[in-house]
């Protein structure tokens, strides 16, 4: 009975809580959020964007494991792979087939839907979301992010532009 009442109270709070999706420009590597999510590819090959290069420098073991799992065929487009061995934890959101391929909105839709649906069961308390695609893709990607993450109580800081060394979050 107490458990049901607790679930009811949590459901009511979810209806009352305002949207917790904030857009900023800055360096996602300086985030204070529990998890740093970024776009990746199903081929498991390292991309050459400045952000991914910085991530690879800071978290080489995560990228090595991710690449190995991709080569084994265990990670596919539309999935998210989590690395909990760092602070912040990393979420490789697989939104491209190859490192030079276009970001596919159906893959962005799949990873955002899964995040909105599963963040509680994954014990995710807050997310810094790095830009998932190229600049010309951002408007369409933002619509998908809004569709899924504006309806949940998960605090998300979405980075619209990567600016190395600029802390964008206020603690």
99 neighbors 41 (Cβ within 8 angstroms): yes
**Domains in the chain with CATH codes:** 19-162 (3.40.220.10)
pTM exceeds 0.75 for this model:
yes
Backbone angles phi, psi at 136, to 5 degrees: -70, -10
Confidence band of 20 (pLDDT split at 50, 70, 90): confident
pLDDT of 84 strictly over 90 = yes
Confidence band of 13 (pLDDT split at 50, 70, 90): very low
Cis bond leading into 78, ω under 30°? no
């Amino acid at each position: 009975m107490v458990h049901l009442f607790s679930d009811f109270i949590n459901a009511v709070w979810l209806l009352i809580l305002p949207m917790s999706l904030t857009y900023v420009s800055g360096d996602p590597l300086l985030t204070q959020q529990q998890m740093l999510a970024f776009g990746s590819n199903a081929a498991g090959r390292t991309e050459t964007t400045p952000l991914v290069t910085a991530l690879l420098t800071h978290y080489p073991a995560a990228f090595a494991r991710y690449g190995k799992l991709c080569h084994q065929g265990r990670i596919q487009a539309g999935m998210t792979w989590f690395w909990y061995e760092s602070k912040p934890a990393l979420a490789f959101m697989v939104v491209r087939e190859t490192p030079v391929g276009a970001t596919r909105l159906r893959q962005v839709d799949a990873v955002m839907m899964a995040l909105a649906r599963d963040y509680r069961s994954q014990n995710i308390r807050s997310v810094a979301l790095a830009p998932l695609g190229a600049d010309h893709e951002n408007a369409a990607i933002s619509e998908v992010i809004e569709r899924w993450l504006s309806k949940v109580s998960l605090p998300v800081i979405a980075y619209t532009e990567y600016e190395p060394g600029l802390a964008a979050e206020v603690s």
